[in-house]
């Protein structure tokens, strides 16, 4: 990979022969595919449709997002799908996810050790003037 050079103004810039963006995004796609293949196998047995939909979505975003953004999406989707498989086994597609599942997931997120608690405004309590 070419090094950054400094212009006369002192700003860093890439030389004209820098790699194009699609190469960077190909790397993100490889990261997403590796993560999916390695960690989603058990989840795929529990909820195959959720896993298949997640995989298509992750492959799609890997074209335009950085590898680190794709990794965060992989972890987030895997956690949500695992929650659905364990706590709401009747949900087999994302179209079946409704308000009760989302509210339960939010409670699950804040109940994990080391997580910040939500303020009253976001817990659903009324605010008095």
Asked if residue 74 belongs to a domain, the reply is: yes
Higher per-residue pLDDT: 91 or 41: 91
Instruction: Tell me the backbone φ, ψ of residue 69, rounded to 5 degrees.
Output: -65, -40
Q: What is the domain count for the chain?
A: 1
Asked if residue 120 belongs to a domain, the reply is: no
Range 37-50 average pLDDT: 84
Model confidence over 107-127: pLDDT tens digits? Answer: 999 998 876 665 555 555 444
Asked if residue 106 belongs to a domain, the reply is: yes
Asked if residue 44 belongs to a domain, the reply is: yes
Asked if residue 88 belongs to a domain, the reply is: yes
| CA-based nearest residue to 55, from 66, 68, 39 | 39
Asked if residue 100 belongs to a domain, the reply is: yes
Q: Which domain holds residue 43?
A: 22-113
Model confidence over 48-75: pLDDT tens digits? Answer: 999 999 989 999 999 999 999 999 999 9
For 53, 58, 110, 123, the CA distances from 74, given in Å and listed in that order, are 12, 7, 20, 27
Coil, strand, or helix at residue 6? strand
């Amino acid at each position: 990979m070419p090094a950054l050079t400094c212009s006369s103004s002192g700003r860093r810039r890439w030389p004209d022969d820098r790699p194009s963006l699609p190469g960077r995004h190909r790397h993100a796609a490889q990261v997403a595919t590796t993560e999916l293949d390695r960690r989603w196998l058990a989840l795929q047995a529990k909820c195959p449709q959720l896993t298949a939909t997640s995989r298509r979505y992750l492959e799609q975003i890997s074209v335009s997002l950085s590898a680190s953004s794709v990794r965060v999406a992989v972890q987030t989707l895997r956690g949500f799908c695992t929650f659905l498989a364990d706590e709401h086994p009747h949900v087999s597609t994302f179209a079946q996810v409704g308000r009760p599942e989302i509210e339960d997931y939010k409670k699950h997120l804040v109940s994990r050790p080391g997580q910040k608690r939500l303020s009253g405004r976001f817990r659903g309590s009324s605010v008095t003037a």
